[in-house]
Amino acid sequence: MNALLLTAVLGVIMMFSSILLTSKASVRNIAIFGLIIVLVSNVLEMSGTVFFRIDTKGMIAFDRFALLFNSIVFASTLIYFLLSARDIEKVGIHYGEYFALIFFVLCGVTISSSFRSLLMLFLGIEIISIPLYILTGSDKRNLKSNEASLKYFLLGAFSTGLMLMGIALVYGATGTFYTVVTNGTNSALFIAGMLLLMFSMAFKVSAAPFHFWTPDVYDGAPAVFTSFMATIVKVAGFIAFIRLFNDEFGTMQPTWQLLIALITAITLFIGNITAVFQQSVKRMLAYSSISQAGFMMMAIYAMNSDAKEGLLLYSAAYCLATIGIFAVLIKLKDYSFDGFNAFARQQPLLAAVVTIFLLSLAGIPLTAGFLSKFYMLKAILETGKYLWLVIFAVMMAVVSVYYYFRVIQAMYFKEGNGQIVEVSIAFKWTLVALAGIIILLGIFPNLIIYWLYF
């Protein structure tokens, strides 16, 4: 509850900051300092210190799983601010409003991670989505940004309609919006509502075949906001997804498990195979996010302790690596693979940390990405079914190595003058620290998982 109220208040504060403050540095510092307060208050709530107590009638419950996930999200967003906050001011003149929208998204994330009522699920998802429509089209001078925003809004509205219809059918079958139900779970209405909610949530996390909006929206949006959308927002969707299917539809797991397995396989195939043929690193990362969604879908399929632990670790590993890559990509003028030619000669330190981020996304050992993928595969093996999905996932992971290594090849082995990139010492050392965290989590995953049971 601490983080929920603080993010909402900070969103309002940031709306007025650009009016009351003339210095963009002051606006940026308020956002960073405010996020630190949110992170600290959320960690304190994990230890039992609650500043705000509100009777939510059981519609929201902040258990340890939700609080730990929120801490990962806030820490990742803090790193995003430290690396990319200066680049946000290049998008447009509404600097404070951009931060306000991001804080409102974080408010929706806290609701989505802790809902106990389908109404709160709907509110959480919409509070996340509506600011994103605005952020996607924030570069008004760019027609691709305007097109991406319109496409995202129209398709997002369609998926919202599916969600509302699914909620209505579930309510018709059970007579309640609460997620713990005991009656009506075998009716046709309930099953139809479950399918609609599944399709709607699959759209939100860009799982195939509901992924078609992702490449155009991620490519058209300003890169600094694509970084936020492809990481924080995506993993928030998965936490809501796993909570919904664990609490509301957990007793029907044999009914929907095969369908989730098929969606997972299709997502892995489309995301990885299509990424191979991309000529833009930014668009490749969009398809990469789809393939990463395929691995995270395994947690929905397995729904056991390894799946939940793996999803938390995957959230941290994926967010940190992708935010780091985008932070460097934003500094480049050319987003193509050729834009990285001979990058290691001009910026050897940046090239080294980008290599670590790419290795983590590819699932190479000694990185957090390797262990997070391992947890997902282990979770499926523990179910004792669908061994083919594990084999197929490993094959797709091998395919992903190819397009990630294309960037590494361009940086170290391609000829070129290299793009002139000017970055601060603080930016470089933040990236080095981020790469160190990814390696540390790859060796000691209990640094995160321990807090789930402490």
pLDDT score at 3: 86
pLDDT score at 183: 67
Q: Return d(Cα 157, Cα 109) in angstroms, integer.
A: 19
Q: Return d(Cα 327, Cα 322) in angstroms, integer.
A: 8
pLDDT score at 384: 83
Number of domains in the chain: 1
Query: Does any domain span residue 410?
Result: yes
Query: For residue 260, is pLDDT > 90?
Result: yes
The runs of H, that is alpha helices, within 332-386 are: 343-346, 348-362, 368-383
Query: Does any domain span residue 367?
Result: yes
Query: Does any domain span residue 380?
Result: yes
Query: Does any domain span residue 341?
Result: yes
Q: Return d(Cα 349, Cα 332) in angstroms, integer.
A: 15
Structural domain including 387 reads 250-454
Query: Does any domain span residue 79?
Result: no
Query: Does any domain span residue 78?
Result: no
pLDDT in tens, 389-434: 999 999 999 999 999 999 999 998 888 765 667 788 889 999 999 9
Query: Does any domain span residue 255?
Result: yes
Q: Which residues pair with 60 in a beta bridge?
A: 115
pLDDT score at 305: 87
Query: For residue 151, is pLDDT > 70?
Result: yes
Query: Does any domain span residue 231?
Result: no
Listed residue (344, 318, 330) closest to 416, CA to CA: 344
